[in-house]
């Protein structure tokens, strides 16, 4: 009897898998597609992928299945695979209405791959060649503005601000708004990093300017968190933490002001270490917020581990 029970237990996973495959074999393709999308929204990435792959194996709704597999790849930060999937849709089903969406998502992925100029150019071409409703055009304006900022074109910021103003008070396009606000935050962080910390007569003014840039970036990340888009919120918290840690390092590495006696120099360095540590603690708290958020939403991306490592490094840097 015990041997029979053990045999049943060992074969149960296989039996369940076979039953699951059998259930897929009788489901209508539209229902299988719906389940795949629903599973993705619920965070079941494996279950979602399995359903889209089942559609491809059955050669049913191949364009939609290929597109949604690419969406899954994009969410999982497998950007090259996502790019290949979108391009497969564009090349394989050129007359399918889905191509319009695939071309747009391809531009988004190109920016994620660091090809911001290509992304901006493709969105611009798409705006000219296709007929879109107002929501789609605002989404494209946000993505194009983000890509332009990443490519070093300041006009992207104005494009983003105009689109955000048009969406004020609405809940639509939360992902595109979060992405655009992340681009604005990153631009503020780039400008902050350009402000050198030098202990001269303008030292205070420079420090105030740099901190103001960091605070402006933080305001954008706060807006991202309110949009309920954890991917961008987590990346924003990590970028902010990195910026404060860089400020901490720059303060400690700054040259001593000229004309101080040995005693004055000793006091100066002690006060500098103490004030700099406030900046380090700020960075640690930002990383900690990210770690807590990642745990709360059960985020599976690489950023969760990176936040944890950075939090530990910030704590270890205490004087």
- Read off the pLDDT of residues 121-130 as tens digits, 9 standing for 90 and up: 999 999 888 7
Q: Which stretches does DSSP call E strand in 181-297?
A: none
Which pTM value belongs to this model? 0.83
79 in Cβ contact with 45 (< 8 Å): no
| pLDDT for the residue 197 | 82
User: Comparing C-alpha atoms, which of 128, 137, 127, 188 is closest to residue 167?
Assistant: 137
| C-alpha span between 268 and 271 (Å, rounded) | 5
Task: Give the pLDDT confidence score for residue 236 in this predicted structure.
Answer: 96
- Overall average pLDDT of the 165-178 stretch: 92
Specify whether the backbone of 61 is left (phi greater than 0), alpha (psi in -120 to 50) or beta.
left
- For residue range 31-77, what is the model confidence (pLDDT) as tens digits? 999 999 998 877 788 889 999 999 999 899 999 999 999 999 998 88
For the chain, the structural domain boundaries read 184-319
Q: Which residue has the tokens 């001593």?
A: 256
Closest CA to 181 of 138, 215, 132, 218: 218
């Amino acid at each position: 009897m015990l041997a029979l029970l053990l045999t049943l237990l060992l074969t149960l996973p296989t039996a369940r898998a076979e039953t699951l495959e059998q259930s897929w074999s009788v489901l209508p393709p539209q229902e299988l597609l719906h389940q795949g999308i629903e599973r993705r929204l619920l965070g079941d990435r494996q279950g979602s992928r399995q359903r889209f792959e089942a559609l491809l194996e059955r050669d049913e709704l191949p364009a939609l299945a290929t597109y949604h597999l690419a969406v899954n790849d994009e969410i999982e930060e497998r950007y090259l695979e996502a790019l290949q999937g979108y391009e497969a849709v564009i090349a394989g089903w050129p007359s399918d209405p889905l191509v319009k969406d695939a071309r747009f998502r391809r531009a988004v992925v190109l920016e994620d791959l660091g090809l911001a100029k290509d992304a901006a150019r493709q969105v611009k071409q798409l705006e000219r060649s296709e007929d879109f409703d107002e929501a789609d055009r605002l989404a494209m304006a946000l993505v194009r503005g983000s890509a332009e900022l990443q490519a070093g074109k300041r006009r992207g910021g104005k494009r983003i601000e105009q689109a955000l103003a048009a969406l004020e008070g609405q809940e639509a396009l939360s992902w595109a708004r979060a992405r655009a606000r992340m681009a604005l935050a990153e631009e503020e962080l780039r400008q902050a990093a350009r402000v050198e910390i030098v202990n001269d007569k303008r030292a205070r003014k420079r420090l105030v300017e740099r901190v103001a840039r960091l605070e402006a970036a933080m305001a954008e990340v706060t807006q991202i968190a309110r949009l309920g888009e954890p991917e961008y919120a987590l990346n924003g918290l990590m970028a902010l933490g990195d910026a404060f840690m860089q400020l901490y390092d720059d303060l400690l590495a700054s040259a001593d002001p000229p004309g101080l006696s040995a005693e004055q120099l000793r006091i100066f360095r002690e006060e500098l270490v103490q004030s700099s540590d406030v900046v380090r603690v700020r960075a640690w708290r930002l990383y900690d917020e990210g770690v807590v958020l990642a745990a709360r939403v059960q985020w599976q991306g690489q950023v969760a581990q990176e936040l944890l490592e950075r939090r530990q490094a910030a704590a270890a840097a205490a004087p």
